[in-house]
A and B are shown apart, each in its own frame.
Chain A
């Protein structure tokens, strides 16, 4: 289940505040914002779209935090490889 894609809100329709135009790299579709009534998105916000409904607002902060965590993994790995190269294994 659950094919859901991030899209950017381009426009909220004036005649129906629950209806918005979302853009996914140039593909546009009208979506229903009814499931986000408690936290209404604005044009420019990113939402997760599933079957033509916005399911959740995407938190750019959380996405950035996640990328930073993932990048740090790589750095720790790299540092560990360096340390292993010093031949200190028998000390452990």
Chain B
């Protein structure tokens, strides 16, 4: 696969890991946070921790839009879909996320019309094909995905489609990073920046991290060589006492972002004054709602939503894991009451949530006496 395989070349990966070991030395302990759930997933999928030196610690950040969605919002979305003739459409990521009365798939088993879509445009297509039904698209994602939802609503408006609405749970990344940095028990040296969010927002929005917080941040791609190169770049900055924003993912991320995508978002969305993030609490100006011009597509305006807040069990330590203060296996519920099959907390619910990723890909490795180098 072009633009993928080159960045998975084993020899180059080994060489870059070697360079990281050289730069990291043995004296200092580095704590780097990868913000984006996609990076968390990549770290585990490619086994990158196996080739990084012990003194580089990767802390998993809060960039998992499924994980940070409060259970009450899932209940709300499913409540709308209980109305007769409503089709609940969502990405596969949402299908097993439990609400208080079960997940979307469990509701499907009980007779709700639930469809998995790959794209918001597929949800709109469902609306075109089923004029006698109403299609409600349960939208999630950071700024990577929000422009596609926005453009889909613009298309719906232009076509005069009336049986389509969006239940909007889009969130924004900068407030989440701020919440991490504001957290008193947080000690981080640097950030691996979210590469795909940055295709939309560009690299400027991170400048305050470098200038005010004095932490280096490298906007990174998702292949093994991308992430390793980003770590090399961060080590260079840290060793030189620098703090800058750098773009490792140049082949895809424009420094100024994607103007057309930002225009689409501005056309359709406005910022909510505040929004609850599961595990992090209420954060102001951190989420999007549909503006008045597109109110006809706002599921929250077209339908009654219970809007009941559901709090997580106190024993679940999602907040501390989300902020990188605890490792997944250090949460008392990890692997016992809280597993991928029976997730209690946010981070076990999505495959890129740090607890789920750790549980699925890693924690039985910790039990191994010695991991043989590969044959």
- Answer yes or no: A and B touching, Cβ < 8 Å: yes
Chain A residues within CB distance 8 Å of chain B = 1-6, 8, 24-25, 32, 34-38, 46, 48, 50-53, 55-56, 58-60, 62-63, 65-67, 69-71, 73-74, 76-77, 80
Chain B residues 291-331 with CB under 8 Å of chain A are none
Known: A2-B195, A38-B260. A56 touches B253 (CB 8 A): yes
Residues in chain B near residue A36, CB distance under 8 A? 258, 260
Residues in chain B near residue A48, CB distance under 8 A? 196, 199, 252
Residues in chain B near residue A77, CB distance under 8 A? 15, 18-19, 22
Among B120, B142, B260, point to the contact of A37 (Cβ < 8 A): B260
Indicate whether B197 reaches chain A with its CB closer than 8 angstroms.
yes
SS class, residues of chain B in contact with chain A: helix
Contact with A along B191-230 (1 / 0, CB 8 A): 0001111011000000000000000000000100100010
Is the Cβ of B260 less than 8 Å from the Cβ of A34? yes
Residues in chain A near residue B252, CB distance under 8 A? 48, 55-56, 58-59
Is the Cβ of A46 less than 8 Å from the Cβ of B2? yes
Indicate whether B360 reaches chain A with its CB closer than 8 angstroms.
no
Looking at the assembled complex, report how far the CB atom of B10 sits from the nearest CB atom of chain A, in whole angstroms. 12
Known: A6-B3, A48-B252, A77-B22. A55 touches B199 (CB 8 A): yes
Among B144, B225, B251, B259, point to the contact of A62 (Cβ < 8 A): B251
Indicate whether B339 reaches chain A with its CB closer than 8 angstroms.
no
Is the Cβ of B251 less than 8 Å from the Cβ of A34? no
Is the Cβ of A2 less than 8 Å from the Cβ of B196? yes
Among B22, B38, B121, point to the contact of A2 (Cβ < 8 A): B38
Residue of B nearest to A8 (CB): B2
The CA of A74 and the CA of B16, in the complex, are separated in Å by 7
Known: A35-B148, A35-B261, A36-B260. A2 touches B232 (CB 8 A): no
Indicate whether B114 reaches chain A with its CB closer than 8 angstroms.
no
Looking at the assembled complex, report how far the CB atom of A5 sits from the nearest CB atom of chain B, in whole angstroms. 8
Known: A58-B252, A63-B251. A50 touches B2 (CB 8 A): no
Chain B residues 171-206 with CB under 8 Å of chain A are 194-197, 199-200
Residue of A nearest to B196 (CB): A2
Indicate whether B333 reaches chain A with its CB closer than 8 angstroms.
no
Looking at the assembled complex, report how far the CB atom of A61 sits from the nearest CB atom of chain B, in whole angstroms. 8
Known: A51-B118, A70-B229. A35 touches B37 (CB 8 A): no
Is the Cβ of A73 less than 8 Å from the Cβ of B118? no
Indicate whether B145 reaches chain A with its CB closer than 8 angstroms.
yes
Looking at the assembled complex, report how far the CB atom of A10 sits from the nearest CB atom of chain B, in whole angstroms. 14
Residues in chain A near residue B195, CB distance under 8 A? 2
